[in-house]
Amino acid sequence: MKTQNVKRIIFYIFLVLLIGIYLVPMYMALITSLKEPSKINLLTSWSFPAKLNFGSYSRAFKLLKTDVSNSLILAISATVLSSFIGSINGYVFSKNKFRGSEIVFTLLLFGMFIPYQIILIPLFQVLKSIGLYGSLGGLVVAHVIYGIPIVTLLFRNFYDQIPGSIMESGRLDGAGYFGLYTRLILPLSIPGFVVVGIWQFTQIWNEFLWGITLTKPSANPITVGLSQLAGGQAVSWNIPMAGAFLAALPVLLIYIFLGKYFIKGLLSGSVKE
C-alpha cells in the first residue's frame, strides 16, 4: 500500500513538471511583457519583474488597434455567414441524402486539406479584378468560401446524431422540407452552431497567409499586425510579447471557458463518434 502511494506521488510530481514545461512559453511572454523596457536583458530573461509595468499593454494595444478591430469584424462576419451555409448544407448531406450526395460531399471535403498556396495566385487575381483586393471584404469572401468544406462536415456530423425518427414524426405531422428544417432541426442546432462558431472564429482569428498576401495595411488582421510588431531586429521585447498576449487573448478565453466545444470541433474531423 505504501509503495503504491509513493508511486502515485512520484507520478503527480512528474505530471506537474510536464505542465510546467508546457507553460514555459506563456510564462516567459507574460513576465517579459510586464517588465520595464530598460530592465529587459537576456541574462535575466527568466526572472520575475521586480516592479510590474502594464505600460507595454497599452502601447501594444495602441499599435494594434486597427488590426484588432479588423480581425473582430472579419472573424464575426465570416463566422456568421459560414455557420448558416454549413447548417443548411449539413441538413442536406445528413437528412436528405440523394444518389450521388456522398460523392459530392467527398469532393467538397477535399478543399479542406489542400495547402492554400495552390489557390493563392488565382485568388489574388480574381479579388483584384473584382476590386476586393486589399480590403477586408476580400478576406471575408475568402474565409466564407474556403470554410464551406469544414462547416459542412461539422454540421453533417452533428445532424447525423439527430435520430431519423424525429424527422419521420415531423413528416407525419405534415411538415415539409423547410418546415422540418426551421421547426425541428434548427432549434436542436444550437450546440452545433456553438461548435462551428467557435471553430471558425478561432481559425479566422489565427489565419495569416491570406492576411499577408491579400490585404493592404489598413485592412491587416491581427496576425499580420503582430508579425510586423515582432519582425525586424526588435530591441525591446516587451511590446511584441504584450502584443502576442493580446492576439492570443480572445482565443485563449474561448478555449478556457468553452473548451468542451472547441475540442469537439477539433476532434470531429478525425474521430468517429
Site for other proteins in 84-143 (CB under 8 A): 85, 88-89, 91-93, 96, 98, 101-111, 113-123
DSSP for the chain reads -HHHHHHHHHHHHHHHHHHHHHHHHHHHHHHHHHS-GGG--GGGTTSPPSS---HHHHHHHHHHHHHHHHHHHHHHHHHHHHHHHHHHHHHHHHHS--TTHHHHHHHHHGGGSS-THHHHHHHHHHHHHTT-TBSHHHHHHHHHHHHHHHHHHHHHHHHHTS-HHHHHHHHHTT--HHHIIIIIIHHHTHHHHHHHHHHHHHHHHH--HHHHHHB-GGG--HHHHHHHHH-S--S--HHHHHHHHHHHHHHHHHHHHSHHHHHHHHHHTTS--
Identity of the residue, 191 or 259, whose beta carbon is nearer to other proteins in the bound complex? 259
| Residue 36 C-beta: closest distance to other proteins, Å | 16
Identity of the residue, 47 or 58, whose beta carbon is nearer to other proteins in the bound complex? 47
Identity of the residue, 73 or 85, whose beta carbon is nearer to other proteins in the bound complex? 85
Report the site for other proteins in 198-227 (rule: CB under 8 A): 202, 205-209, 212-213, 223, 226-227
| Residue 203 C-beta: closest distance to other proteins, Å | 9
| Residue 67 C-beta: closest distance to other proteins, Å | 11
Report the site for other proteins in 245-264 (rule: CB under 8 A): 247-248, 251-252, 254-256, 259, 262-263
Query: What type of residue is 75?
Result: A
Grid cell for residue 139: 478576406
Size of the site for other proteins (CB under 8 A): 89
Q: Which residues lie closer than 8 Å to 171 by C-beta, 6 or more apart?
A: 180
| Residue 35 C-beta: closest distance to other proteins, Å | 12
Q: Give the one residue of 57, 133, 237, 261 binding other proteins; rule: CB under 8 A.
A: 237
Q: How far apart are CA 236 and CA 63, in angstroms?
A: 15
Identity of the residue, 26 or 50, whose beta carbon is nearer to other proteins in the bound complex? 26
Q: Give the one residue of 177, 179, 188, 217 binding other proteins; rule: CB under 8 A.
A: 177
Report the site for other proteins in 150-169 (rule: CB under 8 A): 152
> CA nearest 107: which of 159, 157, 153, 161?
153
- Is residue 186 near other proteins by the rule CB under 8 A? no
Report the site for other proteins in 14-53 (rule: CB under 8 A): 15, 18-19, 22-26, 28-29, 32, 41-43, 45-46
| Residue 261 C-beta: closest distance to other proteins, Å | 12
| Residue 163 C-beta: closest distance to other proteins, Å | 18
Identity of the residue, 16 or 190, whose beta carbon is nearer to other proteins in the bound complex? 16
Identity of the residue, 62 or 113, whose beta carbon is nearer to other proteins in the bound complex? 113
